[in-house]
């Protein structure tokens, strides 16, 4: 049996299913069925749903028009997302989003936290909440530096990391690596680097995968 449980999560910060999937993973880890699992180590990996958006983002209405063919179809799709969010304890304010961001810098902030040995999962949570509940523009370096400070990180160091071309190249390379691995949708969970689960699956499914990955199935 494995001595640790490595969980690699490929996701984006503007993906509602990634937020729901994070909550379902937390529920899975807190469930009685997860008792006896080894200590968990989570690593976050970038995946940009909209890598071609400009750095300044675009108007949300224009984004919905292009992605879904208009606000009516988007409204129907997002109502299902909101309902799923409620089952996970999330009150997603999707209608409050006014601008669709490019998420390259947000992923760089998560990378900064991981490199610093900080709680990157807390930073990920703060980014998801900032976008889906507080409706902050997470494509802006100053907004991200503020989120870094709120997480107890050095805002100036975070700002410098976000402006570092080499740090951004790491995000681009990781995003491409995920695609080359066959990841086409997120969230995407990899347990102990040998068992993958795609999508925001229910906690019971995630627990089963984790137990299998550590040899408890």
Q: What are the angstrom distances between the C-alpha of 189 and each of 54, 183, 193?
A: 28, 10, 9
Cβ count within 10 A of residue 11: 27
pLDDT digits (tens, 9 = 90+) for 103-157: 999 999 999 999 999 999 999 999 999 999 999 999 999 999 999 999 999 999 9
pLDDT digits (tens, 9 = 90+) for 159-197: 999 999 999 999 999 999 999 999 999 999 999 999 999
Q: For the chain, what are the domain ranges?
A: 5-213
State phi, psi for 195 to the nearest 5 degrees: -135, 125
Q: May I ask the CATH architecture of the domain 5-213?
A: 3-Layer(aba) Sandwich (3.40)
Cβ-Cβ contacts under 8 Å for 41 (sequence gap 6 or more) = 4, 5, 6, 7
What is the pTM (predicted TM-score) of this model?
0.97
- Mean pLDDT computed over 50-71: 92
């Amino acid at each position: 049996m494995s001595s640790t449980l490595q969980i690699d999560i490929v996701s984006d910060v503007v993906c509602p299913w990634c937020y729901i999937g994070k909550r379902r993973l937390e529920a899975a880890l807190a469930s009685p069925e997860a008792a006896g699992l080894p200590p968990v180590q989570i690593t976050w990996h970038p995946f940009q749903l909209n890598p071609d958006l400009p750095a300044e983002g675009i108007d949300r209405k224009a984004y919905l028009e292009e992605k879904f063919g208009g606000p009516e179809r988007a409204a129907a799709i997002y109502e299902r997302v909101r309902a799923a969010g409620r089952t996970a304890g999330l009150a997603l304010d999707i209608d409050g989003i006014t601008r669709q961001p490019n998420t390259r810098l947000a992923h760089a902030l998560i990378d900064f936290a991981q490199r610093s040995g900080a709680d990157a999962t807390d930073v990920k949570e703060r980014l998801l909440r900032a976008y889906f509940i507080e409706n902050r523009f997470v494509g802006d370096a100053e907004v991200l530096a503020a989120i870094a400070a709120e997480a107890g990180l050095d805002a100036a160091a975070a700002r410098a990391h976000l402006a570092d071309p080499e740090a951004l190249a790491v995000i681009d390379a990781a995003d491409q690596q995920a695609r080359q691995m066959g990841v086409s949708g997120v969230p995407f969970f990899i347990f102990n680097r040998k068992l993958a689960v795609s999508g925001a699956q229910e906690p019971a499914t995630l627990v089963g995968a984790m137990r299998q990955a550590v040899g408890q199935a």
